Structure 1
Amino acid sequence: MLRPILDEIFSVLSNGAHFKVHTLAAHLQAVELLQQLDDDPNQDLFKRNFVLMNSLYTLQAELIEDDIYLHIDSMDIYLADKGQAPELNTPLSTYYLDWQNYQTENEEITSLLDSFWQRYTQSIHRPQHTLSKAHFDELCLQWQLKKPLEEKTIRRRWRKLAIQYHPDKGNNDDTRFKQLHNEYQQLLGHIKSI
């Protein structure tokens, strides 16, 4: 049952796309790989989400052996190189890889949803982690940025680099473009958190 889902997820992410859980679920439904699993709407939503998350964590474990990291966050799912991989055995992955959790009562589903939305709301208002001074200085040097940095300056430099390294510019390797985008987000997160 899961192999076609795993293959489809890898296929859609392999072009560098980023998905949110709900947009990936909608895609899998559109290609008829994630159909209704229960008559009760709450149970159906939970079970489809469970199958999707189980598939993502299963695929993550498979891909890490090939030095590919599957980043799984409810609002951002994408492929990256292994160097960006944090701890893989998390409480969330343990939960979704245990099929005994597939059958869950409606009260627990409601509690899980409430908990998710509370964490999500807190994460929006939580400051981003700062970079180490050495890494920050290294990125500033690579990006040819002068301190003190401002968001506007980082955005301008990002736009120039994005145009230069965009895969559509005839460069079939989008690795550098992805790396620059990641660095851009790190720099922005850093200056917003200080």
Structure 2
Amino acid sequence: MLRPILDEIFSLLSNGEHYKVHTLAAHLQAVELLKQLDDDPSQDLFKRNFVLMNSLYTLQSELIEDDIYLHIDSMDIYLADKGQAPELNTPLSTYYLDWQNYQIDNEEIAALLDSFWQRYAQSFHHPQNTLSKANLDELCLHWQLTQPLEEKTIRRRWRQLAIQYHPDKGNHDDTRFKQLQNEYQQLLGHIKLN
């Protein structure tokens, strides 16, 4: 199953361009190498991502033997010279190369997604998290939240929106997703300040 995926990823990366995980996933879906893996949308998204990341780390370990370094970061994947290779045995590679991690429950998936996007959001500069009353009311209306806000409710709604608008779904770009992530941080920031 993985060999055609590995070959397709290598072929794409061989052009010297940089890719994101969701653009690779969308391409693999378009060429029918990464088909639906579960009826549950959360499980399907996780399993597709797991197969893709497993493929990337497998390819990385194969290519390093040929003095080629495959840089793997969710938002920046590319081929480079082996001289640029950092330590390849990372907790993330260990996780994705272990097929026992392929089967997890939806609660664990939600926690992993939440953790990933929080780390991702922290890598960018975000505007001040204080919201005016009008902006807060507008966000609550847009997110279909009632006030007073509770962290648990915001997180639950974020997970629903994250699955709906995730770029890996293929029908959304990452601009809308990033906007939702920013709004999520603003809503959480508002709770923590009040």
Q: Same fold (TM over 0.5)?
A: yes
* Structure 1 residues without counterparts, runs of 5 or longer: 127-194
Higher relative contact order (CA 8 A, sep 6+): 2
CA distance in 2, matches of 1:71, 1:62: 13
TM value normalised by structure 1: 0.64
CA distance in 1, matches of 2:119, 2:46: 18
CA distance in 1, matches of 2:107, 2:46: 12
- Report the alpha carbon displacement of residue 88 of structure 1 after superposing the two structures with TM: 0.3
- 1:37 maps to what in 2? 37
- Report the alpha carbon displacement of residue 121 of structure 1 after superposing the two structures with TM: 1.1
- Report the alpha carbon displacement of residue 124 of structure 1 after superposing the two structures with TM: 2.0
- 2:113 maps to what in 1? 113
CA distance in 1, matches of 2:11, 2:124: 30
* Structure 2 residues without counterparts, runs of 5 or longer: 127-194
User: What does residue range 164-175 of structure 1 map to in structure 2 within 5 Å?
Assistant: none
For each residue in 1:15-61, what CA deviation from the matched residue of structure 2 results, as whole angstroms up to 9, or x when unmatched?
10111000000000000000000000000000000000000000000
CA distance in 2, matches of 1:125, 1:93: 27
- Report the alpha carbon displacement of residue 125 of structure 1 after superposing the two structures with TM: 4.0
For each residue in 1:123-154, what CA deviation from the matched residue of structure 2 results, as whole angstroms up to 9, or x when unmatched?
2249xxxxxxxxxxxxxxxxxxxxxxxxxxxx
CA distance in 2, matches of 1:2, 1:10: 12
- Report the alpha carbon displacement of residue 122 of structure 1 after superposing the two structures with TM: 1.4
- 2:89 maps to what in 1? 89
- 1:10 maps to what in 2? 10
Equivalent AA in structure 1 for residue 95 of structure 2 = Y
- Report the alpha carbon displacement of residue 99 of structure 1 after superposing the two structures with TM: 0.1
Aligned length: 126
- 2:72 maps to what in 1? 72
Equivalent AA in structure 1 for residue 86 of structure 2 = P
Q: Which runs of 4+ in 1 moved over 6 A?
A: none
Equivalent AA in structure 1 for residue 13 of structure 2 = L
For each residue in 1:73-96, what CA deviation from the matched residue of structure 2 results, as whole angstroms up to 9, or x when unmatched?
000000000011111000000000
Partner of 1:46, secondary structure, is: helix
Partner of 1:124, secondary structure, is: coil
- Report the alpha carbon displacement of residue 5 of structure 1 after superposing the two structures with TM: 0.2
TM value normalised by structure 2: 0.64
Identity %: 90
